[in-house]
Amino acid sequence: MPVSTDTQPPTGDDVVISGIAGCFPESENVYEFRDNLFNKVDMVTNDGRRWKLDHPDIPARTGKLRNVDKFDASFFSVHYRQAQGMDPQCRMLLEKTYEAVVDAGVNPSLLKGQNTGVFVGTSVSESEQAAYYDKIQNNGLGVIGCSRALFSNRLSYWLGVHGPSYTLDTACSSSLYALEHAYRAMQAGLCDSAIVGGSNLCLHPHLSLSFYRVGVLSREGICRSFDRDASGYARSEAVCVMFLQKARDAKRVYAKVVHAKTNCDGFKEEGITFPSRLMQAKLMEQFYKECCINPTSVDFVEAHATGTKVGDPEELAALDEVFCKGRQTPLLIGSVKSNMGHSEPAAGLCSITKVIISMEHGLIPPNLYFSNPREDVECVRAGHFQVVTEEHPWKGRLASVNAFGFGGANAHVLLQINEKEKVNGGAPVDPIPRLIVASGRTKEAVDVILKDVSRTSRPVDVEYVRLMHDLQSLDIVGHTYRGYTLLTQDGRRVRSLKFYPGSKRPVWFVFTGMGSQWPGMGKSLLKLPIFAAAIEKCHQVLEPHGVDLINIITSEHPKMFDNILNCFVGIAACQILQHNLVSTIKVHNKVLSDLKLITVLQCSANPSGRAL
């Protein structure tokens, strides 16, 4: 097996994950999901949010999303009658697509007309009966709202993108298959970027009953991945979306997709639902030969590991054959299904989300419900694996994600951590205040964003500030509230939030008179490049006439402005700065014309709090 040659950070045509969004059981977003993982929260619950339990063969515990009935139809240009007949998965995919694109620092309007592909992995739609066969509800809109082809096509339609757009169903490996298709399409030049989604909702008890009778569900509703007492999995819900870009285009990089590959078991004497260690191992062997990576250099494997009697042993045997030959230490493995249940077609992206969380925070979240290693698997008895049951330091570069569907569709993805270090850790190298601008559908939405970035416990990150500036460089249609906050190094925060009526704001130039000057009034503002350049230009003009402008606006001598000439020259120079700033600084593609920004900048430089 060749030694790893992929040691460079992503560059050029490399495919990277630049945006991510999702909702998971008891987790509204990736941040809550992260906290639940690290806090060892069992996200599978026993309650009647979906149906009233009235059958002994339907497990009581499932992983459930919150607010599946909420949808801002007008924002996504969906008629309210269409929204009522739309599968909740489709609605939530729209929401999470918007969040993933924004998370990448990309204004969604910039994708219109672009060659962006959309690949969605999903399986059974539990809304079909109401959409197609209920005579009362069947007004024709159900076909458009619940057809799984529209899960992807609706995203392409809303964004106005022209790349490949289709939905894949390979059962439990669907979303990882979708990512593999996106990766291949970008490599082949079929699209320049890609949206990859995965979704699963458990809306009807009859499907759970069917899975239980097939023999894959745990009666107790606990997924004991890798454990001797594993008896099946708990069904779970999730909607997750990732935005893939070429490295040269990405403003943010969570991980590089080193390689992705799929295959199928084909015929098996044991039956179509029986997993094949032979074909899984063959897939992984071919995989690492193709990308010239030695499997021993992979530091962590996020396994499929649903906790079934047959699936786990077959997968562990395949992993052992590929990853453990020549390995000096046990291979670290885990499965997010122990924490949140099995989200079936969405499971692959949930696993990738866990891996990205590990890379971002330097810790691998712990598995739940692992007490006794399986004794029926030789490689487990030999100690070839270490299941992560407590927070474990992330020390490596590479992580693999494995998945297989119950029809024999196998998928494998290799991710590389983004090793690029932020300059100065992202902290400013100067004391200049940083402006954060935000827009949203509601006042509360903007308020949450501004409060989050304004927390005194959160250090100023100039790269994040730039990402926000890029995102807000153009209007986001439908955002009716706007606000800004000014972050200073000493922890002071200035914040404003207003309703935006959509009309263009007028430009006002306010020129102050005599009496507003104070010693050293321009000293701090010289740190602003725009100000410094304007002052230097004025200084060069005045210097031949014996006027030292830089000394006038920076000197703190109490009698500097006893000379009326110094007052006139100093104030006029600062007025020129003000004009330059108003002409240069734009918020939401419009000049911040009320000069509040100028005021707060000047107040931050003036200890007495006065503005010019």
Q: In what order do the strands lie in the sheet with 434-440?
A: 434-440, 481-487, 493-499
- Which residues does residue 238 pair with via DSSP β-bridges, in sequence order? 200
> Element (H or E) spanning 21, and its range?
strand 15-23
Indicate whether 512 pLDDT > 80: no
Whole-number Cα distances in Å, 503 to 58, 234, 499, 545: 56, 52, 11, 47
Q: Tokens 């983004």 — which residue?
A: 418
pLDDT of residue 139: 61
Q: Which CATH number fits domain 421-503: 3.30.70.3290, 3.90.700.10, 1.10.287.110, 3.40.640.10?
A: 3.30.70.3290
**Which residues are identified as catalytic?**
172, 304, 342
What pLDDT score does 600 carry?
A: 37
Q: Which helix (H) or strand (E) holds 578?
A: helix 564-584
Q: Sort 511 into a burial class: Cβ within 10 Å, 0-12 / 13-18 / 19+.
A: exposed
Q: Which helix or strand (DSSP H or E) is residue 223 part of?
A: none
Amino acid at 269: E
- pLDDT-derived band at 133, boundaries 50, 70, 90: low
**To which CATH superfamily is domain 15-37+65-417 assigned?**
Thiolase/Chalcone synthase (3.40.47.10)
Section 411-439 average pLDDT: 87
The SS3 assignment for 193 reads: strand
Measure the CA–CA gap between 148 and 125, rounded to whole angstroms: 8
Is pLDDT above 60 for 611?
no
d(CA 165, CA 292): 31
Across the chain, mean pLDDT equals 87
CA 172 to chain centre: 22
pLDDT band (50, 70, 90) for residue 582 = low
CB 305 within 8 Å of CB 373: no
Kindly report, residue by residue over 375-387, the tens digit of the pLDDT.
888 888 888 999 9
Residue 235's DSSP bridge partners are 342
Hey, what amino acid is at 125? S
User: Residue 325 has which token pair?
Assistant: 């030959």
Give the rounded percent of residues in the chain with a pLDDT score beyond 70: 88
pTM recorded for the entire structure? 0.87
Q: What is the pLDDT of residue 200?
A: 95
Which whole-number Å values give the CA distances from 220 to 45, 57, 59, 217, in the listed order? 11, 11, 7, 9
pLDDT of residue 596: 38
Q: What is the pLDDT of residue 609?
A: 33
Q: In this structure, are residues 363 and 399 in contact, taking their beta carbons and an 8 Å threshold?
A: no
pLDDT for residue 132: 55
How many alpha carbons lie under 13 Å from residue 174 in its C-beta half-sphere?
A: 28
pLDDT of residue 427: 82
- Give the residue, 133 or 93, on which the prediction is more confident: 93
* pLDDT of amino acid 524: 79
> Does domain 506-612 match CATH 3.40.50.2000?
no
- The pLDDT of residue 134 is 56
> What is the rounded distance in angstroms from the CA atom of residue 415 to the CA atom of residue 257?
5
CB atoms < 10 A from the CB of 322, how many? Answer: 23
Which of 312-326, 423-437, 563-577 has the highest mean predicted lDDT (pLDDT)? Answer: 312-326
Q: What is the pLDDT of residue 129?
A: 60
In DSSP notation, 464-508 reads: HHHHHHHHTTS--TT--EEEEEEE-TTS-EEEEEEE--SPPPPP-
Q: What is the per-residue pLDDT across 484-509, written as a single tens digit (0 to 9) for each? A: 998 876 767 788 899 998 887 777 66
Tokens standing for residue 139: 């007004």
Per-residue pLDDT at 374: 87
- pLDDT tens digits for range 452-487: 888 877 788 889 888 998 998 888 989 999 999 988
Residues 321-350, mean pLDDT to the nearest whole number: 95
Q: Residue 231 — pLDDT band, cuts 50, 70, 90? A: very high
Q: Tokens representing 18? A: 């630049």
Lowest mean pLDDT among 53-57, 342-346, 498-502: 53-57
Give the integer Cα–Cα distance in Å for 392 and 394: 6
pLDDT of residue 604: 37
Q: How far apart are CA 188 and CA 365, in angstroms?
A: 35
- Diameter of the chain by CA atoms? 100
Per-residue model confidence (pLDDT) at position 2: 42
Mean pLDDT score, 162-179: 97
pLDDT of residue 597: 40
Dist CA 435 CA 587 (whole Å):
10
Cα separation, 531 vs 539, whole angstroms: 12
d(CA 337, CA 225): 7
**Residues ≥6 apart with Cβ < 8 Å to 541:** none
Confidence of residue 97 (pLDDT cuts 50, 70, 90): very high
26 CB-near residues (< 8 Å, 6+ apart): 32, 36, 41, 43, 45, 63, 64, 66
User: CA–CA distance from 429 to each of 47, 424, 425, 456, 527 (Å)?
Assistant: 52, 7, 10, 18, 11
* Choice between 430 and 461, residue whose per-residue pLDDT is larger: 461
Q: Is residue 594 very low, low, confident or very high in pLDDT (cuts 50, 70, 90)?
A: very low
Whether the Cβ atoms of residue 384 and residue 319 lie closer than 8 Å to each other:
no
Which of 81-90, 195-204, 283-292, 354-363 is predicted least confidently? 81-90
DSSP labels, 267-283:
--TT-TTS--HHHHHHH
Phi–psi pair at 262, nearest 5 degrees: -135, 160
What distance lies between CA 377 and its chain's CA centroid? 37
pLDDT of 608 reads 36
Q: Enumerate the domain spans of the chain.
A: 15-37+65-417, 421-503, 506-612
- Bigger pLDDT: 499 vs 578: 499
CB 227 within 8 A of CB 264: no
431 vs 107: CA distance, rounded Å:
29
pLDDT of residue 111: 96
Alpha-carbon torsion angle 167, 83, 20, 65, nearest 10: -100
pLDDT in tens, 182-221: 999 999 999 999 999 999 999 888 889 999 998 999 999 9
Report pLDDT digits (tens) over 13-41: 999 999 999 999 999 999 999 999 999 99
C-alpha 582/C-alpha 599 separation (Å) is 11
Check residue 572 and give its pLDDT.
85
For residues 71 and 23, the answer to whether their CB atoms sit within 8 Å is no
Quote the percentage of the chain above a pLDDT of 90.
57
What confidence score (pLDDT) does residue 135 get? Answer: 47
